[in-house]
Amino acid sequence: MTLRRMFGALCIVIAGCGRYDEFVLPKAGEPERGEYVWQAVRAPVLPRGPEPWDQSDALNPAVVRQGDIYFNFYSGFDGRIWHTGLAISGDGLRWSKRGRVLSPEGWEGDYIAANGCALIHQGEFFYWYQVGRLPRITLARSRDGRIWRKHGRAVLEPGPRGSWDERGVADPYLIALDGFFYLFYLGQDRAMRQRIGVARSTDGVQWTKLRSNPVLELGDYGEFDEKGLGEPAVWRAHGSYWMLYTGRDQGERRRMGLARSQDGVRWLKLKSMVIGGEEDWNAAVVCDPSVEVDGDDVHVWFGGGDRPSPDERLNGQIGYGRLRWRKDSKW
């Protein structure tokens, strides 16, 4: 989901407070020669409905594995509110829905408590997610994935007036490396440009933003990501960092692109890899990746829809694909 709906009637500007620094991610290694090749399952693996809370859209998978079980903390839209639900699976393909686990309440507002990313840390599920019509990112924790303790305030706020993310921060995606959490996220400025930045933290609560953000810019005129980009998913493999991200074009069609980096800050878009929908159910939208590295390959769960909407009511459902590594080709 994107942010246009949230900002349409909003005139408030929040002066963001926070820490800034220059940093890079740990060295990824020596880059291997090769490329990823995309293969997707034709049908959705997690449909919307039949419960009312996700009958309009089921999107934004946040998949994490504990032992032999995959937990998917996905976003469901009931036509008015975005919630977080839980589905579980033994193979990542056949899912059993276990109901709604988070909804917006109190200071979070009345629109969204979803669109998040999950990690297992110190025996707990940590789930960073988006709240508010001027979006911020907050945190909840759970021992079992069903009963959650909310942090009670935002952990990542919009930036100060005039900054690249002054009108909202959203779409969190985290990786943990060498004692740090690294959070890749969407930021929106007053011109409604949506780009991707990064922050880091030792505890998942106190964050330092990269001073030179954003790390990924809009595409050129006519490209699939010329109008906006967000929803990053980042991993380390084959001597590099990789990022799947969602791009929006002028017609509000969404597709996924792939970028490569050696330090997690300076990224090269791989323009030969643009992933669009090939079936009726995801013909207009492919978005919201969540990834798991599996040897040379990468499992990818993603959202899809048949209506080119920038935010919701796109008949959203969740699909599955795989990025297969092919050695010895140019990149």
Structural domains of the chain, ranges and CATH numbers in brackets: 4-327 (2.115.10.20)
Q: Is the pLDDT of residue 331 over 80?
A: no
Residue 286 has pLDDT above 80, yes or no: yes
Split at pLDDT 50, 70, 90, the class of 244 is very high
107: left (phi over 0), alpha (psi -120 to 50) or beta: alpha
The pLDDT assigned to 11 comes to 33
- Position 310 confidence tier, pLDDT thresholds 50, 70, 90: confident
Q: Which pLDDT value is given to residue 193?
A: 95
Mean pLDDT score, 23-31: 96
Tell which phi-psi region holds residue 145, choosing left (phi > 0), alpha (psi between -120 and 50) or beta. left
| pLDDT number for residue 204 | 98
The tokens 């629109």 sit on which residue?
111
Average of per-residue pLDDT values in the chain: 94
pLDDT at 6 over 70: no
Whether pLDDT at 1 is above 70: no
Got the DSSP string for 162-228? TSTTTT-EEEEEEEEETTEEEEEEEEE-TT--EEEEEEEESSSSS-EEETT--SBPPPPTTSTTSSE
**Cα end-to-end span (Å), the chain:** 31
pLDDT in tens, 77-126: 999 999 999 999 999 999 999 999 999 999 999 999 999 999 999 999 99
Per-residue confidence (pLDDT) for residue 330, from 0 to 100: 52
Q: Which helix (H) or strand (E) holds 297?
A: strand 297-305
Question: What is residue 329's predicted lDDT score, i.e. its pLDDT?
Answer: 53
Closest of 288, 276, 314, 168 to residue 231, by C-alpha: 288
Average pLDDT over residues 305-310: 94
Sorting pLDDT into bands at 50, 70 and 90, what band is 8?
very low
Q: How many residues are there in the chain?
A: 331
Q: For 129-174, what is each residue's pLDDT tens digit? A: 999 999 999 999 999 999 999 999 999 999 999 999 999 999 999 9
Helix/strand/coil percent split, the chain, to 5 = 5, 50, 45
